[in-house]
Amino acid sequence: MDTIFALASAQGKAGVAVIRVSGPQAHQAALQLSGSSLPRQGTTLRVLKDQFGNPLDEALVLLFSGPHSFTGENTVEFQVHGSISVISAVLQSLSEIDGLRIAEPGEFTRRALENGKLDLAQVEGLADLIDAETESQRKQAQTLLSGGLGVLAERWRRDLIRAASLIEVTIDFADEDVPVDVTPEVSGLLSGIQADLQKEAEGVGIAERIRHGFEVAIVGAPNVGKSTLLNMLAGREAAITSEYAGTTRDVIEVRMDLAGLPVTLLDTAGLRDTDDHVENIGISLARKRAESADLRVFLVEKGEDLTIEMRDGDIRLLPKADVRENSEIAVSGKTGQGVDYLISHITRVLRDRSAGAGVASHARHRETLNLANERLKNAQTILLQGPEYYDIATEEMRSAIRSLEMLVGRVGVEDLLDEIFSSFCLGK
């Protein structure tokens, strides 16, 4: 197997940069650059030199012996000064050592998967953690990375193996009197697993919203202050505002962190009847985005008909609180009046919805969970048909077990790996 290396920290100038090397020649490569003996495990300070003995940098060298490393292989990390020239010189020196090559995107993590240090769900959790922007995203990714889904899958797998074993005992002793009817216990085990699978599958939708962000659309007629409110919430001039109706024609998006939740605010075109062809396109887009948004904020006058039906969690407020005498349920993007209430409402609704998220957080997880659940439904139906069909029921249980193994990447996921690891950087 090749020994690979790459910059593991971010590109560009920094105080410290980390260069990672992993593979059978990792320790030998570190010895070549440092020019003196090194411990098999631990940390040491060394002056790194090129092949001609010229100093490159003074570096902290961290050595890990496999399998006690991230990849499960012998690994070295050089913590060097984060100068672009230093990083380039060290990488160049590593490339000149026989048997070493630059890592491909995600190759360190792929080796961790292949060496049993991570399961596939943990790999996805690591990718999510790297991309996390808010506290809720970080917590969700950490749960997946820590092996939470793998623990659940293993528990379900053990229960399925027991259920299948009980049925197989009945089949093996079909010609003898078996004193105990195992069907109630098997059915109970399957029902418990099905309930868990369904709960996790149903929670994926919310978990995906946490990963990608909730959408909150600001909806109303022209000139009610939608763009001004968006600018107030964003803390910057994200949308053009004017006294002329129809100024906003496209959907303006602003990414925010509300109490740890990722939220994208949408400023939409004012809803009205118009002969302006371009504005009509904007209004159609506004309706479409508002319909698909997770939550809508309606800025409308009392008695004004809504052209979009309100849903649970949506909020209706009077616009332009700054020009009203009674502004208890009004909001103003100009003065900030009512904005705290609005943010509190949005946060509460989205936090309540987030409570329904489970450990599974990817569409792949949902598909695999649903497939396993379908197999178990078939097994339950077949069990009711009598002992002569028990062998078919057992095969359905085995199929469910294989689905759970696919969930954590033990079998049948080779075609997914290139796509998953393509999103990783070189040093990960």
Q: Is 354 annotated as belonging to a binding site?
A: no
Structure tokens that stand for 193 in this block: 């697993």
Q: Is 75 annotated as belonging to a binding site?
A: no
Q: Is 244 annotated as belonging to a binding site?
A: yes
What's the first-to-final CA gap in the chain, in angstroms? Answer: 18
The size of the chain, in residues, is 428
Q: Is the peptide bond between 67 and the residue preceding it cis, with omega within 30 degrees of 0?
A: yes
Q: Is 157 annotated as belonging to a binding site?
A: no
DSSP class of residue 254? Answer: E
Q: Is 323 annotated as belonging to a binding site?
A: no
Q: Is 228 annotated as belonging to a binding site?
A: yes
Q: Is 268 annotated as belonging to a binding site?
A: yes
Q: Is 381 annotated as belonging to a binding site?
A: no
**What are the residues whose beta carbons fall under 8 Å from the beta carbon of 73, sequence distance 6 or more?**
1, 22, 23, 24, 26, 66, 67, 111, 115
Other C-beta atoms closer than 10 Å to the C-beta of 239 total: 22
Q: Is 188 annotated as belonging to a binding site?
A: no
Q: Is 248 annotated as belonging to a binding site?
A: yes
Between CA 56 and CA 96 the distance in angstroms is: 14
The region that residue 387 occupies, defined by phi over 0 for left and psi between -120 and 50 for alpha, beta otherwise, is alpha
Between CA 128 and CA 256 the distance in angstroms is: 18
Q: Is 422 annotated as belonging to a binding site?
A: no
Q: Is 288 annotated as belonging to a binding site?
A: no
Q: Is 226 annotated as belonging to a binding site?
A: yes
Q: Is 270 annotated as belonging to a binding site?
A: yes
Beta strands 100-102 and 3-7, pairing class: parallel
Q: Is 117 annotated as belonging to a binding site?
A: yes
Q: Is 241 annotated as belonging to a binding site?
A: no
Between CA 160 and CA 10 the distance in angstroms is: 44
Query: In terms of C-beta density within 10 A (0-12 exposed, 13-18 middle, 19 or more buried), how is residue 142 classed?
Result: middle
Q: Is 77 annotated as belonging to a binding site?
A: yes
Binding-site positions for GTP: 223-228, 242-248, 267-270
Binding-site positions for (6S)-5-formyl-5,6,7,8-tetrahydrofolate: 20, 77, 117, 428
Binding-site positions for Mg(2+): 227, 248
Binding-site positions: 20, 77, 117, 223-228, 242-248, 267-270, 428
